[in-house]
Amino acid sequence: MDTQANKEQILAFWSALDAAKSDDIASVCRAHLAPDFIWRGPAPLSLKTGPKAVADSFWHPLKQAIPDLKREIHMIFGGQSSGRVDGGPDGENWVCGTGYLTGQARGEFLDIPATQRRLQLRWGAFYKLRQGQIVESQMLIDFVDWFEQIGLPVLPKSRGTSHVYPPPTAFDGVIAHPQDPVQTAETLQLGRQLLYGGLNRYDATGLSSMGMAGFFHPNIKWYGPGGIGACFSLAEFETLHQQPWLAAFPDRKVQDLDALIAEGRLLGAAGVAGVRATHSGAYLTAPASGKPVQISGLDFWLRHKDKFTENWVFVDMIDLFAQMGQDLFTRLHSRTQTGLGPAQ
């Protein structure tokens, strides 16, 4: 495993992608992605196979809608995944990153109205590499936050704070050099204890059953997706996010993940069906349905000593609400068609 070479390969792909005009996107994807590349994107795009399919369905129309699209990279790191509940390594090498895509919305994308506004779109992505080829990716865009930015919110005002999320506090999220393997092992161990120990210990009697104080710093900065917002302490995290989330999904369990990697003090997790639960209680606009749900998400953490101090969270809210019987894109289009257009 050569994590440094893998990161350089992903950075080269991003650089070529960002520099390309919309008509050149397909050739860039063919040059950098394996012929049988699998892309697991955000709903309603979801699964695409092959470089051309990814280019045609996502990057080409996005570049046409936002011609001056620029990428901000807040984090990039990599490693070998250890995302199985039983503790065994899965042997796969991944690189992950997150940040913002910025630019002026001059055209529609997935029928999201062109508002001429400058957007800051949260993105997170994981890339699997084998024998020097990029063979798979999981990527999420925070569509709910996008809708809020153009004045067409589809969910109630976030309980947490809505704002542009920063990179890691010390601006050390772009890891350019090899990291201390002892630090990496400590980060991975704490992450596994949090995911498969703490979170999965919830017994519906109280939040204390998870022992979150053993994993999160009292002043943790938790940057949640659109519809949830940010929390700036463990107390806020428990009150504003965990309580309503677990009231809606009391039996939620973290499953085998597609990727769980650490490098230095950074940890990343990705799972298309990484969390499973039953929608047993009301959540935001969705009344209890009793349906089983699979929650697709990406997480990035920063560790300081024996606690996580920051956590950047992506949840595919479009997919989650669809499983609960609500189509957030239809809600967006309905607002536009009924005259509740973007706020000026």
Q: Residue 29 and residue 36: Cα distance in Å, rounded?
A: 12
Regions in the chain scoring below 50 on pLDDT: 341-344
Tell me the two tokens of residue 34.
């394996």
Residue 182: what residue type? V
pLDDT in tens, 316-344: 999 999 999 999 999 999 988 775 544 33
Domain over 3-149 is classified CATH 3.10.450.50: yes
Cα–chain-centroid distance for residue 35? 25
DSSP string, 19-86: HS-GGGHHHHHHHHEEEEEEEE-STTT-EEESHHHHIIIIIHHHHHHSTT-EEEEEEEEEEE----TT
pLDDT score of 343? 36
Q: Which fold has domain 181-331?
A: Nuclear Transport Factor 2; Chain: A, (3.10.450)
pLDDT score of 1? 65
pLDDT score of 162? 87
> Which pTM was predicted?
0.96
Give the sign of the dihedral formed by CA 222, CA 225, CA 230, CA 234. negative
What are the C-alpha distances in Å from 118 to residues 105, 107, 153?
6, 12, 17
Percentage above 90 pLDDT, the chain: 92
pLDDT score of 87? 86
| Number of neighbouring beta carbons within 10 Å of residue 22 | 17
Give the sign of the dihedral formed by CA 258, CA 277, CA 48, CA 98. negative
Q: Where are the domains of the chain?
A: 3-149, 181-331
Instruction: Establish whether domains 3-149 and 181-331 are of one fold.
Output: yes
Q: Residue 8 and residue 18: Cα distance in Å, rounded?
A: 15
